Amino acid sequence: MKKSILLLMLCLMAVIMPGCRSAKNGSQAVKIEDKESSQWSNVNVPVRLDLIEPQKFSLSGRLTMVRDRYALISLRMLGFEVAQIYVSPDEADVVVKQMNKIWIQEPIASRLAELKIPFTTLQEALLGNQQAFDSLPDGLNLTLGGTAEKPVLTLKISSKGKTLLGSMTLSMSEAQWDTPRPATFSAPNGSEYKKIALKDLGNILK
């Protein structure tokens, strides 16, 4: 299970981190209502993450975003939070809270600047906004499908004969917009977690 969660986190990190690149694929039209996609200050959406290859595994949770500031995904199993992924204009953090606590922290400010991606555009793309998705630079190994009510972001990475395939499905019909106290991220106690670099994650997954 630990490996499945880490693979799922790696897949999700590749979806929402613009530095993990191969080739942006064509997408099927999905459109979010203009009012919701252009005027929100924060949003909370139920999500389901599915690892499809090299094994099948899924977790449900919630995506919280504060416009221009951060995206936070909290994943739960049997009522307990098992993992978080947090992305801001400056850094990305993956925290696995169960089964040998792991904390991955990766700076992304330079990647966003290099690719000229406004953070808000990345947030809109995560919500399934077709216009925002189409404005992302070539080199993101993503497809956007599904419907306006359930947009699906799918990632496929192939390397050395191995494939990592996963998806994130959002339940936009259950989204809560502009709530007074959106969820926030607190960095874990470093003494309780094994902190590793993203480049070293492969060694754990072997």
Average pLDDT for runs of 10 along the chain of length 206: 61 56 42 55 95 86 95 89 89 80 83 82 90 78 89 82 85 95 87 77 56
| Omega prior to 18 cis, within 30 of 0 | no
Residue type, 14: A
Tokens of residue 165, six digits: 């395939």
The amino acid occupying position 122 is L
The residues with which 53 forms a beta bridge, in sequence order, are 165
pLDDT at residue 192 in the model: 83
Quick one: pLDDT at residue 29? 38
Return the pLDDT at 10: 63
Phi, psi of 142 (to 5 degrees): -130, 155
Domain limits, the chain: 2-179+187-199
Measured between alpha carbons, how far is 6 from 96 in angstroms, rounded to an integer? 8
Question: 99 — alpha (psi -120 to 50), left (phi > 0) or beta?
Answer: left
Cβ distance 183 to 62 under 8 Å? yes
Helix or strand holding residue 82 (H, E): strand 80-87
Model-level pTM?
Answer: 0.83
Span 2-179+187-199 CATH architecture: Clam (2.50)
